[in-house]
Chain A
């Protein structure tokens, strides 16, 4: 039985192997973190971690990630207990609409896991594939650097 392991819980996804991971996370598992932005792997809004690696869930089939560890924004922290990175985004007021923020945080999480003290340039480069139309990029970069500092 194929199973999807998301944020430490296991879900039966029998028959959904060909569905985009994003739709199953949002529509079946009712997770709000990953967002639909383009469905074309161009914007990053749908980013989740699969075994710690940032993956664009809009172009990832469920069948390709069964039995791997999937982490969504909800898996980092909660409204009551945000994790360091989420906390840093609050402290820096790092958004306008916040639609892109899921992707930015998930991509940054992967960066910090692999490089706990990145330079500003490294943060920008890592986030270059994440689009933000509101123009909150500098605030988000500051938030990532703050999280790295405070870790």
Chain B
């Protein structure tokens, strides 16, 4: 097997290809990868796109890739089958990621490479101009790629027709130009004589598919559970949630709005949650740091809110456009005092949808803050997922107090029976939602008996939560692989490869990190040895698991990029020795 390949065996027909476009930000790299992904999805393949770019709009090294597969795509893969390198710098930086037999298409308008390598040049702009549509350069390249992977041109044409049929004069002309651009690209590639194999036919999946990023999936999920209030402050990689909400959370009783800081965001959703709204904000690490006092207020005064942390890298301003899983300690205990936040950490784009919905329901049910931990590796990658069935999404409504005035909102509660209902302004049961320790009606008090009973009440409420998607397989194996968040994808691929090679490995995975489903914690506790692949230096999740009595250790990575399945296979093999 090739050291880097994404394909299972040396079949003549390939099941999996990675195509990467590398160049400068602003060169339409994302558009090219997205176009190819959409064409392949329409043809019935599974696709996943992934981009890296510096924190600038134009210029600077950037790349965008698409992985096309006959089965659901779990990660961005190992090697690259086709590299489109738009400048010399990006060729130099990416060619070493090519699999054996991989091919580079270089931008012959910018530079040339010495004869004899696994590459050929293309003058996409010049060829596009010859079709009469200078903007079709992307399509020249896509034609060349399609030829290299023997992808059906009919499907590319269908895609072009779909995209450019916009009910305007001139649609037909644009479609024609784009189709001839594709043919010109095909011709150049055919002349080069290269091919990287033939993509096996797609096994069309049943039911509708949607093509979304993690952030869009999360937004859709939250609104499916009845979210009706959103405020946020722009920050990568969470901004696209704010933008989505501003565009789509519109209508009666709905509100989406850009506030002037993360402190305003958390305070406003506390005010909204208190008044009966299903309220959410999303941010990244720097914003979570600013929200810590407000999150403590939501916990203390028992107000339902959802906060999304789309993690990026590093402390302070850190690495705004890179992926890291390093906010776990912070999200679990963001505030001072005795606090432990419920946390949902989706691992795939599809799980982002369901985590969005579940977080809203959890917040309503236990009357407190819930944190969703997403990541750059999920937020911006596009993926086709089965279209969720809205009828199956629960829309839990808050237990609202409807009795007479003089209600005791903060009664002692041991976790059995129903949690006391919550009065809502405008209705009966006026009380003070208090961030200072308080008595039953919310008046400030320092009496030990109240601090004891309410501290217990706040922790007992967590018993209402815990259910969420989990996976347990071969839990008696020598080594259990147990990733969290987006490391699930590459870890799962690694797990499957190791199993195929008859390695004695098992699998435990949970979206709910706190509280965890009992079966998951039991499986982890009884496991001989648990390996946690995670993108941080300290091994944050394995540290927390050890506190719970799990024999856990981490495989860490902290260069700002996600794991590759191949590198995980190698490190786990070392542990198996």
The answer to whether A and B come from one shared complex is no
Name A residues whose Cβ lies closer than 8 Å to a Cβ of B. Answer: none
Name B residues whose Cβ lies closer than 8 Å to a Cβ of A. Answer: none
